[in-house]
Amino acid sequence: MKKFSMLINAKDKIAHINPEIYGHFSEHLGRCIYEGIYVGEDSPIPNVNGIRTDIVEAFKNIKLPILRWPGGCFADEYHWKDGIGDKKNRKKMINTNWGGVVEDNSFGTHEFFELCEQVGCEPYIAGNVGSGTIQELAEWVEYMTFDGVSPMAELRKENGREKPWKLKYLGIGNENWGCGGNMRPEYYADEYRRYQSFCKNYSGNNLFKIACGPSGDDYNWTEVMMKNLNKDQTKGISLHFYYVPDWSDKGSATQFNEEDYLTILSTANRMDTLLTRHTEIMNRYDPNNEIGLVVDEWGCWYEVEPGTNPGFLYQQNTMRDAIVAALSLNMFNRHSKRVVMANLAQVVNVLQALVLTSGEQMLKTPTYHVFDLYKEHQDGEAVYCYTENENLCEGKDVPMISSSASVKDGVMTITLANCSLTDEAEINCDICHFAGTEVSARILTGDVHAYNDFDTPETVKIEEYTATLVDGALSVTLPPCSVVTVTVK
Ligand code: AHR
C-alpha cells in the first residue's frame, strides 16, 4: 500500500467544464453508423425511425452531450445532397477511406438530427472542404438552419422537415493537412476564411465555427492558424491526437504486457504537454480565451480484431482503455480554461468505442463506464487539486495517480485513477472551503486485461465503493488498476 496526500481548494477555480468535453464522434466507418447506430425501420432490432433504442438509452445514461458527424476523413468526401430525400433514389458511393465499401447514403442529414434529438445531444457537423465546394457547404447550412423561403429551405420541407434544426457546431473541414486535402497551413487558413464567409447565421442560429487544427505536436500549424484566423470568424481550433506509440505496429487491444501498458499510458500523458504547448501559442494571440481548443479526435488505436475487416477499425476495449480514458478526461478537466470540447474516437464499434454491437446484442465497454463515472463533471467548475505522486516507470512519464475535481450545485465530484498494476494507493485528501459532510463513491476495477464480450457483458462494471470524510479530511483507498469517483455534498 502506498500513501498519497491530496489537497483540494474549492475556492481555487480553474474554469467551467463545458459538457462538450465529454463529447463523441461518429463516422461512416466500418460498423459505426450502419449496424451500430442505424439499422433501418424494418429491422427486427428494436429501433425508433431506424435508430437502435439500446444505444440511445446507453448514450442518454451518460448524458452524452455532443456527437460529431459524418467524419473524419469521410467528411471531406461526403456530399450531403446524396443523403437526403427518398432512400430508394439516394446515390451510392465508395467509401474510399474505410474499406472501399458501398455507402448507400441511407443515413444522412435527417437521420443524424433524428439521432441527436433522440439522445438529447448537440449535433456537430464536419463540413467538406477537401473535395466539396463553398456553395455546397453554404447550402448545407441553409438547408439545416434557414427558416423562411429559399431553395434549400424548400428542399428540406419537401423532404418532410418543416422547421429548421438548430446547429451550433460546424467544422470547416477535417484533417486538411492530411486526408482532407494535404494542404499547407497557410493555404488552409485562406480556404478556411473563404469557406466560413458563406456559412451564415440564419434565423437566430449562431454558428460556432471550428477550424481544422494540428495533428499532435504540429505547433507550427497552430501558430499559422492563430496568426491568420479572425476571432469573429473562428470560435474553435481542433486538435487530433491518437495514443499510438508505433504506427507500423499498433499492437493488440487485448494481448499486451506491462511494458506495452506503460507505453500507452506515457503516450496518452503526452496529451498534457500538447494541451499546454498549444494553449501557450493560443494565449499569445488570444489572451482572453475567445478561441477554444477542440480535441475532436482522441483515443487508443490498436490493430483490428483478428478476422475483421482492416478498414473497419474494430477493436476490443479493456481496463487499460478505461485507465487511459480516465487520465485523459482528468487532463481535459484541468485544461478546461482553453479546452472547450473533446470527442472520443469513436462512439460505436470503431477504435476506443463506448459500446460494441453484434446483431441485436450491445455491450458497454470499460471506457463507457468511465464516462458514466465522470458524467457529473459536466457543467461543473473545475477546481485545482494537488496530488502527491510517483512515477511508475523510469524513462517514461507515467504518474501513478491521476485526479481532477469539480463543484456543481453544492456537490463536489472527484475522479481518481490508480495506474499501478500492483500497488494499492491510500489517498488522504484535505478539502478546503467546501461545506460537504456526506460522501459516497463508485469504482471500476479489474485485471488490466479484463474486457466485456457478448457472452460475458458485465465482466467489467461499476460498483458502489467506500470513502470516508471526517472534518473535511477525505480518505479513500484505490485498488491497483482502478478508476474511482468520490462525491461529496
Ligand atoms: O477516426 C478515424 C480517422 O482518424 C478519422 O477519419 C480521421 O480524421 C483520423 O485520421
Atom of ligand 1 nearest to the CA of 313: 2
> What average pLDDT score do residues 45-74 get?
98
Instruction: Give the model confidence (pLDDT) of 184-210 as tens digits.
Output: 999 999 999 999 999 999 999 999 999
What domains appear along the chain, each with residue ranges and CATH number? Answer: 2-9+384-488 (2.60.40.1180), 17-380 (3.20.20.80)
* Mutate-to-test residue for ligand 1 from 124, 174, 175, 242, highest number of ligand atoms within 8 A of CB: 175
Q: What is the pLDDT of residue 472?
A: 87
Enclosing H/E stretch for 319: helix 319-334
297 CB under 6 A from ligand 1?
yes
- Which residues have CB under 8 Å from 301's CB, separation 6+? 242, 243, 244, 250, 313, 315, 345, 351, 352
pLDDT band (50, 70, 90) for residue 2: very high
Q: What is the pLDDT of residue 174?
A: 98
72 CB under 6 A from ligand 1?
yes
Percent of the chain with pLDDT over 90: 99
Sheet strands (E) in 129-182: 169-172
What cell does 355 get? 459500446
Enclosing H/E stretch for 320: helix 319-334
CA–CA distance, 374 with 288 (Å, rounded to integer): 28
Catalytic residue among 297, 360, 390, 464: 297
Q: What is the pLDDT of residue 146?
A: 98
> What average pLDDT score do residues 136-159 get?
98
| Residue 360 annotated to the active site | no
Distances 136 to 111, 386, 415, 470 between C-alpha atoms, Å: 19, 49, 44, 61
356 CB under 6 A from ligand 1?
no
Atom of ligand 1 nearest to the CA of 351: 1
CA–CA distance, 463 with 467 (Å, rounded to integer): 13
Instruction: Give the model confidence (pLDDT) of 324-338 as tens digits.
Output: 999 999 999 999 999
DSSP 8-class letter at 131: S
CA dihedral 106, 109, 110, 116 (to 10 degrees): 110
Instruction: Give the model confidence (pLDDT) of 449-487 as tens digits.
Output: 999 999 999 999 999 999 999 998 999 999 999 999 999
Q: Phi/psi zone of residue 280: left (φ > 0), alpha (ψ -120 to 50 degrees), beta?
A: alpha
CA atoms within 13 A on the CB side of 459: 17
Atom of ligand 1 nearest to the CA of 174: 8
Q: What is the pLDDT of residue 91?
A: 96
> 441 near 467, Cβ under 8 Å?
yes
> 452 near 357, Cβ under 8 Å?
no
174 CB under 6 A from ligand 1?
yes
Q: Is the pLDDT of residue 441 over 90?
A: yes
> 444 near 322, Cβ under 8 Å?
yes
Sheet strands (E) in 191-274: 208-211, 236-243
What cell does 139 get? 447550402
Q: Phi/psi zone of residue 31: left (φ > 0), alpha (ψ -120 to 50 degrees), beta?
A: alpha
Q: Is the pLDDT of residue 33 over 90?
A: yes
The angle at the Cα of 471, spanning 438 to 405, to the nearest 5 degrees, equals 60
> What average pLDDT score do residues 428-451 get?
96
> 448 near 481, Cβ under 8 Å?
yes
Q: Is the pLDDT of residue 398 over 90?
A: yes
